[in-house]
């Protein structure tokens, strides 16, 4: 069964969370990271 990792990040600024998601995605695509679920929140932002 594939490994699934849960990361509890707490409150993280939006830009930092987005950067980490992109890094994890790139690593996952090439097989260097397991399936990962990020559990976090960030302060309100305007989008």
pTM here is: 0.78
pLDDT for position 34: 95
With b for 16 or more beta-carbon neighbours within 10 A and e for fewer, the 15-45 pattern comes to eebeebeeebeeeeeeeeeeebeeeeeeeee
Instruction: Establish if 15 belongs to a structural domain.
Output: yes
- Could you give the number of structural domains in the chain? 1
Domain around 22: 4-41
Task: Answer yes or no: is pLDDT of 17 > 80.
Answer: yes
pLDDT for position 36: 96
Instruction: Establish if 47 belongs to a structural domain.
Output: no
pLDDT for position 3: 86
Q: What is the pLDDT of residues 21-46, one digit of tens each?
A: 999 999 999 999 999 999 999 898 78
pLDDT for position 8: 97
């Amino acid at each position: 069964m594939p490994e699934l990792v849960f990361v509890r990040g707490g409150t993280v600024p939006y830009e930092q969370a987005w950067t980490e998601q992109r890094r994890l995605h790139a690593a996952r695509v090439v097989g260097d990271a397991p399936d990962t679920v990020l559990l976090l929140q960030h302060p309100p932002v305007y989008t």
